[in-house]
Amino acid sequence: MTAPGHSLAIDAGSRYVRLARVGPGGTPEPVEPEGAVPGEGLPVPGAAAGDRGAALRAAYDAYLRHHDAPHRLLVVVPQHDRAAHARRAADALAAPPGAGPAPDVRTLATPHAVLALLRHTGGVAPGRYAVCDLGAAAAEVSVCTVTPGAVAVAATSRHAPDDGYGTGFDTALLTRAGLPPDEDHRRALAAVRAEPGAARRLGLVLDRAARDPGRFEATAVHHVAGRPVTAGAVRSALPLLTDGLDRALAEALGPGRDTPLALVGGVARLGPLRPHLDGAGRPLTALPEGTDPAHAAVLGAALVAAGRVDPADRYPYEVRVGAHRTEAGHPADSELLVSAAGTLEPGGPVVFAEADGQRIGVRTRADHPVRVRVGAPGSGAGTPVRTLTLPGGDATDRFHVGVRIAVDGTAALVLHPLGAGTPGAFPLGILPADIGTDSKEVGP
């Protein structure tokens, strides 16, 4: 049994659900409940295939059969469609009627979980990074801006073939070996890849096959169920991975090639991806020594769940709105700081403009459009977001002005009347997360 008040992190993939918690020494470590495949996690039950919520529930129930319920439960969710995944996780892990109190369930997107692990170990400095989550179903690239107190996702792209990303690659290898691409043979292929020395042998044989295909193409790099998986089969199937990753990188990053990449997910274990990226001039960010790429996200989430590292899931820039003041009897344009850098949290409360700890009351005029701008504190660098026409009031109407960010990343400017009245929200869209590149105005 586990100590009361402990925390747990869960990351549900399309084939395996991985669990982790922080051990007595403060180091995050995988948890393998009964039925787990060593080094992989709990297989997703056939009945839950394609249903992330059902897979989460099944894995959590398996954990509870041998452990006390955690006080805090952090679920890793994909960056794409983050809000929908968060709702499904909350619904799936809610305590059934009569089962006692549910744990405090929260979610963290994959790039934030991975960067939490890297920040905890000193693996990243402030700057721009791309977290490449390479799994059985898809390759997802999230471009992140890291500041001392916040991490924001600037862009996300996803390559998800109908037959799967890593799954499609494995299907091609097994088919070339004359084996049916069923779950038993997929697990057997994963097992031989994990054998000591297998990765080194794969690299050596592929390197020789690239120099002398006629001699080494038929050389076996693995044996699955007595059948050889040859260097030629790997070389012919590898573009299923590299081409898809290249497309996702190009879509997320554009032509730039200097952004460091963090490769995570089960497919990131495959050694030939690294020389491909090296050859393309893509710098790589190393994971902490000994970290299995497939467990990087859940290990980072375990650190966050245990309070060992700040998730930094906050907006890294200031949000300002244009204001009109009267100075010495003359009108003057200025800006009002609504939220300071690192204070807005996705799904968190509205942050209101304040002075000396008190909310500021402002008056609106319909004939004075207001420009919303984001910027880096103290640098003057920034970019406009949207120009809004707010409803006007009479001379006595005053509002508190704030901003909020929903779980899906969309922001809104909020006007809260000081007197009677209903608060109003005015959409801002997705706030720029990298003012070095997100320089165009969003929306009309």
Summarize pLDDT for 10-44 with one digit per residue, the tens: 999 999 999 999 998 899 999 999 999 888 999 99
Lowest-confidence region among 4-13, 132-141, 214-223? 4-13
Residue intervals in the chain for CATH 3.30.420.40? 1-123+292-313, 124-285
What's the pTM? 0.82
Q: Is a pLDDT exceeding 80 seen at residue 61?
A: yes
Stronger pLDDT, 99 or 442, i.e. the higher one? 99
Lowest-confidence region among 83-87, 236-240, 292-296, 337-341? 83-87
pLDDT tens digits, 112-138: 999 999 999 998 988 899 999 999 999
Distance CA 82, CA 103 (A): 21
Amino acid sitting at position 160: A
User: What per-residue confidence (pLDDT) applies to 443?
Assistant: 32
Q: What is the CATH number of domain 1-123+292-313?
A: 3.30.420.40
| DSSP, res 154 | E
Quote the crossing angle between the two packed helices 166-176 and 183-193, to the nearest 10°: 90
Q: Which CATH number fits domain 124-285: 3.30.420.40, 3.60.40.10, 2.60.120.10, 1.20.120.550?
A: 3.30.420.40
Structure tokens at 131: 């977290």
- Cβ distance 325 to 375 under 8 Å? no
Stronger pLDDT, 25 or 442, i.e. the higher one? 25
Distance CA 261, CA 283 (A): 6
CB atoms within 10 A of CB 258: 9
322: which strand partners?
335
295-327: string of b/e by CB count within 10 Å (b at 16+)? Answer: bbbbbbbbbbbbebbebbbbbbbbbbbbbeeee
Distance CA 434, CA 143 (A): 9
Q: Would you place residue 420 in the very low, low, confident or very high pLDDT band (cuts 50, 70, 90)?
A: low
Q: Would you place residue 338 in the very low, low, confident or very high pLDDT band (cuts 50, 70, 90)?
A: very high
Stronger pLDDT, 422 or 159, i.e. the higher one? 159
DSSP class per residue in 277-340: HHHTT--BPPPSTT--GGGHHHHHHHHHHTTSS----S--SEEEEEEEEEETTEEEEEEEEEE-
Q: Is a pLDDT exceeding 60 seen at residue 145?
A: yes
pLDDT tens digits, 284-301: 999 999 999 999 999 999
Structure tokens at 384: 């406009």
